[in-house]
Amino acid sequence: MSADLPEAFRELFAGLIEQRHFPGPGDAFHRCFGCGPAHTSGLHVRVFKTDAGVLAPVVEILGGAVVRATGKISVTGELTVRYVRPAPTETPLLGRGRLVADHGRYVDVEGSLEEFGAARVVATARGRFFPFATVGITPGSGTS
């Protein structure tokens, strides 16, 4: 599954399982700007499971961390980004995300964006996400 990733990420993502959720084209997930496959101008975020949370070869992965930890598709309620240093152009970036706290009605997550290979953090983020009702997803599975 990692063969269609950019070359810079293939070794790191080799052996990781992609977190997917595809209940149908009418599902709200499909229209999500960040991760929805049906959003025509969206980011089409791909998220891969790790023991600590998730990894993604993109900027915004906090929503993926929510699904990994809770099994619930969620929407962004708040997002705070702190830019630590400039991100060089044409440099692969690696996103990391993890659950900080599950408050029931909402969850808090944090993440970072780093220069791939150099492990220099270029941005950090904290977010509050609000799950909405989904059917057929179990915590940590990200599948239907």
pTM: 0.65
Q: How do residues 107-138 score in pLDDT, each as one tens digit?
A: 999 999 999 888 899 999 999 999 876 544 44
Q: How do residues 50-105 score in pLDDT, each as one tens digit?
A: 999 988 876 477 888 888 888 888 889 999 999 999 887 677 889 999 999 999 99
Out of 3.10.129.10, 3.30.2130.10, 3.30.750.24, 2.40.128.50, the CATH code matching 2-131 is 3.10.129.10
* Tokens 């101008």, located at residue: 41
Domain definitions of the chain by residue range: 2-131
Report pLDDT for 114.
92
